[in-house]
Amino acid sequence: MSQCSGNYFTNEDGEDTNSSSLTGFILLGFSDHPQLQEALFVVILIFYLLTILGNTTIILVSHLEPKLHMPMYFFLSHLSFLDICFTSSVIPQLLVNLQDPMKAITYGGCIVQLYVSLALGSTECVLLAVMSYDRYIAVCHPLHYTVFMHPRLCMILASMAWLSGVATTLVQSTLTLQLPFCGHHQVDHFICEVPVLTKLSCIDTTFNEAELFVASILFLIEPVSFILVSYGYITWAVLQIKSTTGRQKAFGTCSSHLMVVIIFYGTIIFVYLQPAKSKYKDQGKFVSLFYTVVTPMLNPLIYTLRNKEFKGALKKVLGNILAVSFA
């Protein structure tokens, strides 16, 4: 880090506060909307608890029920684990800052949050594309589904998603943290993200912005394009089914995943693929709430409430637990 990043905090009034032993940032978050902070604290806490409960349930039921030992639920378990870790890297700090007037985060804490949240978010982008391929095979090649989506391939695809997310994060976050953060350390956001930290630099960030744009193409545009192509083939295959019941069943296996894709990618693209001086930048932190707080909570609801197979497995697992408890 350059010396111009200095050992100091700035308080909410913009005054420098000297510190010989502590450096960090001020995550302003929603301090410009003080009337919303108490309500946001309650809502976000509830969403976080529901996220942990819902995604943990998916992981446990998918593991305990043999009927769910198939590729779809294997990838869904990975998605649920991702959502638990992703929200846990962001929401606890957000809840603290909603109650703390200083809204400070240490430099080390910001680094950890930046690396972890970006790695998990990038991994989820690839994993959702992998899940669309699974749905494509299930609908377009149902007779060969078990041959194509064998356990070894599933492990390879899941590993590819994780490794690609971690690899791009090492490059992107490291480039961001090498920037000299001159002047104040006030971050007009509730999370340490690459776009908002880049704006704090006192040097030309054209290279960093270009690198961020390329990464956004690789992890947003390409996966979305792959998903659209997959669903194009799925739609064509479903339209060839003469039975109305068959078409509804085929669409039902894909609609949940498609809803998650629209919500997740729509909000992230809004934040990461805007020009640096876009007039909508101030809305970025509110939009970010969707993919950091809302979407991870909605995922288990979308996948389970519309899935008779999972609901049946959940009832069976709960019945077995109750039977053991009262035996």
pLDDT reading at 123 higher than 50: yes
pLDDT band at 198 (very low <50, low <70, confident <90, very high): confident
| Pair 327, 82: CB distance under 8 Å | no
Residue pointed to by tokens 């019945």: 319
Residues 203-223: tens digit of each pLDDT: 888 888 888 888 888 888 889
**Kind and range of the H or E run holding 8:** strand 8-10
pLDDT reading at 234 higher than 50: yes
| Pair 183, 202: CB distance under 8 Å | yes
pLDDT reading at 21 higher than 50: no
Across 140-169, average pLDDT: 91
* Rounded-to-integer distance, Cα 41 and Cα 95, Å: 6
Which of 224, 226, 85, 88 has its CA nearest to residue 166? 85
* pLDDT at 19 (0 to 100): 35
pLDDT reading at 316 higher than 60: yes
pLDDT reading at 58 higher than 70: yes
pLDDT reading at 180 higher than 50: yes
* pLDDT at 17 (0 to 100): 40
> Where in the chain are the domains?
3-321
Lowest mean pLDDT among 91-105, 195-209, 266-280: 266-280
Assign domain 3-321 to a CATH class: mainly alpha
* pLDDT at 85 (0 to 100): 94
Residues 22-51: tens digit of each pLDDT: 477 888 888 777 788 888 999 999 999 999
Neighbouring residues of 195: CB distance < 8 A, sequence distance ≥ 6: 212, 271, 272, 276, 284
pTM of the model: 0.83
Q: What are the distances in angstroms from CA 224 to CA 15, 86, 177, 259, 265?
A: 44, 20, 28, 13, 8
Residues 242-260: tens digit of each pLDDT: 777 767 766 766 777 777 8
